[in-house]
């Protein structure tokens, strides 16, 4: 069986558009940060969420409003029910843990993750 001609190319094209868009978005954020005079270490909750979806979602529920599993607390329940402070979270994420793989996060990534976790605190 043959695929309709052009389908694969079209699919390839849309992936390209998406990655262009991503690159453009990243550049936009950098330019915005530069224009606003924000230091390069500014915390970005959106980037933190993306990181969480990439690195934490295999174990933790990342999205706000979702329930917790028995074994692993959802990220939202960590900041809401357990009331972990920003400082505590930063320290936790900086050090490797037995129950969690060593993720070797950069300070920037930790700042973004903590910013995302802090944003969950405010969500119902
Ligand atoms: C391989 C599975 C796994 C991954 C991946 C993982 N975690 Fe965890 N995490 C756990 C487990 C299990 C616990 C519970 C450990 C405990 O309470 O001793 C935990 C606990 C935590 C805690 C402490 C909760 C508390 O209040 O005691 C935080 C904060 C946390 N994880 C954040 C993260 C973040 C952020 C990421 C992604 C960067 C991540 N974890 C990735 C398994 C994981």
| Length of the chain (residues) | 124
Q: What is the pTM of this model?
A: 0.70
CA-78 nearest atom, ligand 1: 26
SS (H, E, C) the chain: CCCCCCHHHHHHHHHHHHHHHHHHHHHHHHHHHHHHCCCCCCCCHHHHHHHHHHHCCCCCCCCCCCCCCCCCCCHHHHHHCCCCCHHHHHHHHHCCCCCCCCCCCCHHHHHHHHHHHHHHHHCC
pLDDT (tens digit, 0 to 9) for every residue of the chain, 124 residues total?
A: 555 655 555 665 555 655 655 666 665 555 555 555 554 557 899 999 999 999 899 889 898 876 656 678 899 989 988 889 999 999 999 887 777 777 788 999 999 999 999 999 876 5
Instruction: Provide residues with CB under 6 Å of ligand 1.
Output: 52, 55-56, 58-60, 71-73, 78, 82, 84, 89, 92-93, 99-101, 103, 113
Pocket test for ligand 1, best of 96, 100, 109 (most atoms within 8 A of CB): 100
């Amino acid at each position: 069986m043959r695929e309709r001609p052009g389908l694969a190319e079209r699919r390839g094209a849309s992936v390209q558009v998406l990655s262009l868009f991503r690159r453009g978005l990243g550049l936009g954020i950098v330019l915005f940060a530069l224009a606003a005079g924000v230091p390069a270490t500014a915390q970005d909750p959106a980037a933190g969420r993306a990181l969480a979806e990439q690195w934490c979602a295999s174990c933790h529920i990342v999205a706000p409003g979702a329930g917790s599993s028995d074994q692993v607390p959802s990220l939202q329940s960590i900041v809401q029910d357990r009331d972990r402070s920003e400082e505590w979270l930063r320290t936790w994420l900086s050090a490797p843990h037995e129950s969690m793989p060593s993720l070797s996060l950069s300070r920037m990534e930790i700042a973004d993750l903590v910013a995302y976790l802090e944003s969950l605190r405010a969500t119902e």
